Amino acid sequence: MNAVTLHKITKTYGEGKVQAVDEVSFEVKKGELFGLIGPDGAGKTSIFRILTTVLLADSGTATVAGYDVVKDYRAIRNRVGYMPGKFSLYQDLTIQENLEFFATIFGTTIEENYDLIKDIYDQIKPFSGRRAGKLSGGMKQKLALCCALIHKPEVLLLDEPTTGVDVVSRKEFWAMLKALKEKGITILVSTPYMDEANLCDRVALIQNGKIMSVDTPEQIISAFPVKLFAAKSDNIYKLLTDFRADAHVDSCYAFGEFLHVTLKANPEVGVDKLQEIAAAKGHANITVKQIRPGIEDSFIRLMNDSVHAWDVVQ
């Protein structure tokens, strides 16, 4: 059974001038940890708002926990936990008060579903008398997750929970999501960080309101159509411009300490070819190797295959 379905969902703003979501269709299976991966402005938040029944789509249909987002909006609201991208708890209430407030709204108590939030709540419990507005980013995030879980939702909808959060807190947060998934909760989570795709069962890559690909991270990576090479030299920026200027090179992007390069033809001799180009330009300490692509390589490839961001806005 599918916990979330979208069928050709379309949403425009400004009387049709801005196409935020463009015929988006995908399904999230029950018990799945599903990632919606894309940059700001891709349409992620609009999709979340449609699924949480706070925004009406222009066209298309969607269901959450088996209920229609338009007809059965009340049923959905009782069955989903939602963590918006922007911190939306009551800043003047303490941790404890916020949690009690959300429990009461949903007709339950903190005790009733305590086992679900225990692991997360324990980390912020020492500060339970502190006002939410005075909490650090990481603690706010944990409190918001507790509040979204307090009524034991079937589906958890998390809109960019890790944006602007440091590496350590991001790792902790994903460990929490994994634990929740094991308790049988379906999770739809969005993120602009491509590396987080690998932590999901399946992902949808979204750009300019359109879904570019839906699959497991493994499958998306193995669908990368050409051979990919990593290269570096003593002068990485010059190497980037030299490669880009070369007629044999199809694409060249910086990835950490390496450049990721694809060639227009003869990829089987790619390593030698790239060595040769770099050497001819006088580079020293050249390293070239063939590598396995990552999600970000796939995303860039898919992006370049579709229209450029700017054209859509026009």
User: Using CB under 8 A as the criterion, which residues of the chain lie in contact with another protein when the complex forms?
Assistant: 38-42, 135-139, 163-169, 171, 192-194, 207, 237, 240, 253-257, 296, 299-300, 303-304, 309-310, 313
Considering the complex, what minimum distance in angstroms separates the CB of residue 41 from another protein?
Answer: 5
- The nearer residue to another protein, 271 or 300, going by C-beta atoms, is 300
DSSP, res 49? H
Q: How far is CA 302 from CA 15, 187, 261, 279, 308, in A?
A: 29, 25, 15, 31, 11
- The nearer residue to another protein, 29 or 289, going by C-beta atoms, is 289
Find residue 63's DSSP bridge partners: 5, 68
Burial 225-236 (b: 16+ CB within 10 A, else e): eebbbbbbbebe
Considering the complex, what minimum distance in angstroms separates the CB of residue 183 from another protein?
Answer: 26
- The nearer residue to another protein, 16 or 107, going by C-beta atoms, is 16
- The nearer residue to another protein, 183 or 289, going by C-beta atoms, is 289
Considering the complex, what minimum distance in angstroms separates the CB of residue 66 from another protein?
Answer: 33
Considering the complex, what minimum distance in angstroms separates the CB of residue 31 from another protein?
Answer: 29
Burial class (CB in 10 A: 0-12, 13-18, 19+), 259: buried
Considering the complex, what minimum distance in angstroms separates the CB of residue 103 from another protein?
Answer: 26
Considering the complex, what minimum distance in angstroms separates the CB of residue 204 from another protein?
Answer: 15
Residue 154 corresponds to which amino acid?
A: E
Q: What residues contact residue 308 under an 8 Å CB cut-off, 6+ apart?
A: none
- The nearer residue to another protein, 66 or 138, going by C-beta atoms, is 138
The 10 Å Cβ neighbour count of residue 128 is 14
Q: How far apart are CA 274 and CA 266, in angstroms?
A: 11
- The nearer residue to another protein, 108 or 169, going by C-beta atoms, is 169
